[in-house]
């Protein structure tokens, strides 16, 4: 990291160094946080602060625990080499999208799923529900599914730290698409992304409540899965004349919905 920082300073000059010093790292800290308390940072957070970012005593950080708001804090090292944080004031700021969207993402290859999860969190998704379909490249079950779900949760946490969100979206354990479609839903609008749909997303009215957005895997959903989704109340919509990849389609729809109805206006 130091080598990369030196390269950036060499390229952009001392202005970049001033900018770097002004950046306050954000950490998800899933413990009770209170003003004027001194806490020991959890091991993963402590490792990131000390070993990855090389932060020193007195450096400013921001902590959030997923319950809303964020806390200013100052890093400290004690004589036992514990990494502590002296917690300051709480800021009740929220950066959540006004749209409660669950992205129902057809399981894709590992890198594409990682990308979809990361960028969906940055775009404000409320939850992500991976579903296994007949054309899914990946097949997950049992312990392997739990491990992959934990991996996605860590990606979601990292995305929240980067983009400023103080609430970590729910990442559901992968389920078969037919199991998902058969579950009760309270969504006000259920959308199925389909390149050949007759209706454009842009022509829909703003939903009165939560939204479920279904995006297929590589190769799309099968005709039987499309039919099952329509029977479950999903409306087919397209995003223009171009066919988008599985890791792009849901993200494009999230961005479009936030532009049409959310906080990108």
Q: Domain coordinates of the chain in residue numbers? A: 2-91, 101-261
Q: How far apart are CA 55 and CA 76, in angstroms?
A: 9
Predicted local confidence at residue 7, as pLDDT = 58
Kindly report the pTM of this predicted structure. Answer: 0.87
| 17 — pLDDT class (breaks 50, 70, 90) | very low
Q: How confident is the model at residue 136 (pLDDT cuts 50, 70, 90)?
A: confident
Q: Could you give the percent of the chain with pLDDT greater than 90?
A: 80
User: CA–CA separation, 90 vs 105, rounded Å?
Assistant: 35
The number of residues in the chain equals: 265
Query: Using a CB cutoff of 8 Å and minimum separation of 24, what contacts does 18-25 make?
Result: 24/60, 24/61, 24/62, 25/49, 25/53, 25/55, 25/61, 25/62, 25/161
**How is domain 101-261 classified at the CATH fold level?**
Alpha/beta knot (3.40.1280)
Q: What is the mean pLDDT of residues 21-48?
A: 91
Q: Is it true that domain 2-91 has CATH number 3.30.950.10?
A: no
Whether residue 19 has pLDDT greater than 50: no
Confidence class of residue 1 from pLDDT cuts 50, 70 and 90? Answer: very low
pLDDT of residue 140: 67
């Amino acid at each position: 990291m130091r080598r990369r920082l030196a390269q950036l300073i060499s390229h952009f000059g001392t202005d970049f160094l001033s900018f770097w010093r002004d950046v306050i790292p954000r950490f998800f800290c899933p413990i009770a946080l209170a003003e004027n308390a001194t806490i020991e940072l959890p091991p993963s957070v402590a490792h990131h602060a000390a070993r990855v970012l090389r932060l020193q005593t007195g450096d400013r950080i921001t902590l959030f625990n997923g319950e809303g708001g964020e806390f200013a804090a100052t890093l400290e090292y004690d004589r036992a080499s514990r990494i502590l944080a002296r917690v300051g004031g709480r800021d009740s700021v929220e950066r959540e999208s006004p749209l409660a969207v669950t992205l129902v993402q057809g399981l894709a290859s590992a890198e594409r799923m990682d990308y979809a999860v990361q960028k969906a969190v940055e775009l404000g998704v409320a939850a992500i529900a991976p579903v296994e379909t007949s054309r899914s490249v990946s097949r997950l079950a049992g312990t392997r599914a739990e491990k992959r779900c934990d991996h996605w949760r860590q990606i979601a946490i990292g995305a929240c730290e980067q983009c400023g969100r103080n609430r970590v979206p729910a990442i559901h354990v992968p389920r078969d698409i037919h199991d998902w479609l058969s579950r009760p839903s309270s969504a006000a609008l259920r959308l199925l992304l389909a390149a050949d749909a007759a209706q454009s997303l842009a022509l829909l009215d703003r939903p009165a409540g939560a939204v479920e957005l279904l995006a297929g895997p590589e190769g799309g959903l099968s005709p039987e899965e499309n039919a099952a989704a329509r029977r479950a109340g999903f409306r087919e919509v397209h995003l223009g004349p171009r066919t988008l990849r599985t890791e792009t389609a849901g993200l494009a729809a999230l961005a479009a919905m936030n532009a049409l109805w959310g906080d990108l206006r």
